[in-house]
Amino acid sequence: MAAGLNGFGDDRRGVVAVEFALIIPIFMLMTYGFMEIGRALFIQNSLGHAVYEAQRYAIVHGASSSSPADADAIEAVILEKAGMLDGDLLTVDVSFAPDNEPGSVVTIRASYAFDYMTGLVPLEAFDMTSTSAATIAR
């Protein structure tokens, strides 16, 4: 039996396959995590930009404007500016305090239901939100 074990420690066949099998799960998990973080940042940035653009639209389209904005028009601006976000997962809430007249405050709150791409990680979906409030100029 000792003769069969001679040179056993010198045999390097299969080492690369074993190392690959040990490293690939960690590499794939990191890649998946980077993709999810990047996607979440993209969605949060897109949502914030859409709310900002809707706020700009709302403050210049007050009641004294030639085309006054209402909640539906502001929501349409958010949907237009949200780009690649799914409109079915987007919820918009617009409120005017006290009304749509110049000097009043418009508050826009949008939330997006973020869910993970593949479901490999058993985490719950959550809402991303963006809020903006500004005084109507005209």
The domain segmentation of the chain, as residue ranges, is 11-135
β-partners of residue 133 are 107
114-137: average pLDDT: 87
Judged by DSSP in three states, 37 sits in helix
CA dihedral 71, 73, 74, 75 (to 10 degrees): 80
Residue 97: pLDDT band with limits 50, 70, 90? very high
How many CB atoms are located within 10 Å of the residue 116 CB?
Answer: 17
pTM of the model: 0.82
Q: To the nearest whole number, what is the mean pLDDT of the chain?
A: 89
pLDDT at 7: 60
pLDDT in tens, 63-89: 888 899 999 999 999 999 998 899 999
User: Residue 49, exposed/middle/buried by CB under 10 A (0-12, 13-18, 19+)?
Assistant: middle
Q: Is 117 helix (H, G, I), strand (E, B) or coil?
A: coil
